Structure 1
Amino acid sequence: MAIQEEDSVLLQIEDKRAKIVINRPKALNALNVDVLQSLLQKLEKVRKEDISVLTFWGAGDKAFVAGADINSMNSFGQGAIADYVGLGQRVMRTIETFPAVCIAAVDGYALGGGLELALACDLIIAKEGAKLGQPEVNLGIIPGFGGTQRLVHRCGIGTAKRLILTGEIITAEEAYRLKVVDYLCSAEEFNSTVTKVTENILEKGPLAVKKAKEIVNCAVERELLSGLTKEVEAFLKLFNTADREEGMNAFLQKRKAEFKGR
């Protein structure tokens, strides 16, 4: 299947593997409504094919996905933001439960919604020099696409609290040490490592791999779904605060936010 270069999300299918590329390099591949809707459409196309491994990439060499599109988010009313967060949650849940192994190939920034996309995948392969984090508290909000829940399940509550409560952005090397990512690669070995991991999975029994993913997910299913519901509720309450407005305006104006706790 040919890639359409003008699309905000690119899709390539070859044999039993598929590749999705977030294609907004000038915006550091930020997740706006168009990207999220396109991701769902591309995922449904892949679902109809006999695919065993699906990899996610960011266009360019600066970012996997640098986060949500703050400029567009800042203009949303309560209805629009509820729709946006619901759409993002649906995308991440679709990836998480997708009937193929999903791999995030992280090169550059994976922040906010970008890290949440990676966390929805089964495996995360990071290139040395990549930067990862959940910096939403700097905007007066919390992760809204599942980060508060999936980060805990991936690397433990201590590391999750460290990253979410401080908004700290860490290197790929630190992320590997903290078990946020599964593989850490040099620039020279990044693409080949993604290929090797993909081929390793393709050599296994496809029915067994598919079922294994499904059953492993069952280990955290009930508490994950409950937590995701609470996350959305909390996010929407925070979005309707003066602190959120100040946080996003400060970000867009490239100044330090002055929060008032209201």
Structure 2
Amino acid sequence: MTDTPLQTWLDRDGRLLRLRLNRPKANIVDAAMIKALDAALAAQKGNKNLSAVLLDHAGPHFSFGASIEEHFPDQMADMLAVLHGLLKRMLFYPCPILVAVRGQCLGGGLEVALAGSMILCSPDAKLGQPEIKLGVFAPAASCLLPERIGPAAAEDLLYTGRSVGADEALRMGVVDRVSEDPEAAALAWFDEHYAPLSACALRFAVKAARGALAHRVSLRLDEVERLCGVDLIKTKDMMEGLVAFQEKRPPEWSNC
């Protein structure tokens, strides 16, 4: 595992902030990764020349999801607090956040992607929220997916835990573009659509367009954080699902 969970640099004459998940192949969204993302975004928030952010990843997969260990009761509250803090920063960020995805984009990894403005993925991408299969639910995705793809499609993914391929994800609205090279496609989008614009005007446009969404989701994140960290955490099946996953065996549900 690399010692640096995130690569960060400025591109396009300082107009584009590049963020790259840097713990392949899993790129687990653990506390270290979350804090690195949050710090990188915070550092550039006041940059008046910044027009957009591009989040991509090293290795063949965007992310296998959040850390299983951090879902256990002794760490869950802290994990949810830092993750939801990052997502709120992304939702309220003053410029568009483009996300380029290859391979697996699951669980907490997909939640991070969903907080962006535009998701571009490769034809081999698989996206999903498998938490329900572990006896838990996806708190942030429960807030973000209904906003992005509507309640019915969101409930499909949240209740079944199934993953969808690029074409189905595009039809559902989970992703916005499918490209053989999503990073290159995101850069081309920036060059054509954002680079010619006033970064100042773009900031106001983002605030106007995303403000209501950001406020709604922020409030809902607080609600589901309590539902998960106070109520779900007391259930036997949550522990059984997590332990079964670690032991690589089928869970034995008690339904309580």
Alignment of 1:59 onto 2:52 = no
Find 1:87's aligned residue among 82, 86, 96: 82
Alignment of 1:19 onto 2:18 = yes
Point out 4+ residue stretches in structure 1 off by more than 4 angstroms: none
| Unaligned segments of structure 1, at least 5 residues | none
Q: Using the alignment, how far apart are the partners of 1:37 and 1:226 within structure 2?
A: 21
Q: Using the alignment, how far apart are the partners of 2:104 and 2:242 within structure 1?
A: 19
Aligned AA for 1:105?
Answer: A
Find 2:189's aligned residue among 197, 212, 232: 197
Contact kept? 1:74, 1:245, Cα under 8 Å: no
Find 2:6's aligned residue among 9, 18, 21: 9
Q: Using the alignment, how far apart are the partners of 1:101 and 1:221 within structure 2?
A: 13
* Percent of aligned positions that are identical: 27
Alignment of 1:166 onto 2:164 = no
Aligned AA for 2:39?
Answer: Q
| Unaligned segments of structure 2, at least 5 residues | none
Q: Using the alignment, how far apart are the partners of 2:183 and 2:99 within structure 1?
A: 12
Aligned AA for 1:130?
Answer: A
Cα deviation, residue 94, structure 1? 0.6
Aligned AA for 1:67?
Answer: G
Find 1:229's aligned residue among 213, 222, 225: 222
Contact kept? 1:176, 1:184, Cα under 8 Å: yes
Alignment of 1:43 onto 2:41 = yes
Counterpart of 2:149 in structure 1 is 155
Q: Deviations over 1:174-225 (max 9, x none)?
A: 1001111001112xx4332111111122222322221121111233344323
Change (3 A) 1:241 1:69: same
Q: Using the alignment, how far apart are the partners of 2:41 and 2:71 within structure 1?
A: 28
Counterpart of 1:33 in structure 2 is 31
Cα deviation, residue 130, structure 1? 0.5
Contact kept? 2:73, 2:233, Cα under 8 Å: no
Change (3 A) 1:41 1:179: same
Counterpart of 1:99 in structure 2 is 94
Aligned AA for 1:205?
Answer: S
Change (3 A) 1:124 1:74: closer
User: Secondary structure of the residue that 2:100 maps to in structure 1?
Assistant: strand
User: Secondary structure of the residue that 1:24 maps to in structure 2?
Assistant: coil
Q: Using the alignment, how far apart are the partners of 2:40 and 2:80 within structure 1?
A: 19
Task: State the aligned residue count.
Answer: 250
Q: Using the alignment, how far apart are the partners of 1:74 and 1:112 within structure 2?
A: 12
User: Secondary structure of the residue that 1:29 maps to in structure 2?
Assistant: coil
Q: Using the alignment, how far apart are the partners of 1:56 and 1:69 within structure 2?
A: 20
Map 1:113-128; keep pairs closer than 5 Å.
113-128=108-123
Alignment of 1:243 onto 2:243 = no
Alignment of 1:68 onto 2:60 = no
Aligned AA for 1:111?
Answer: L
Contact kept? 1:140, 1:238, Cα under 8 Å: no
Cα deviation, residue 98, structure 1? 1.1
Contact kept? 2:72, 2:239, Cα under 8 Å: no
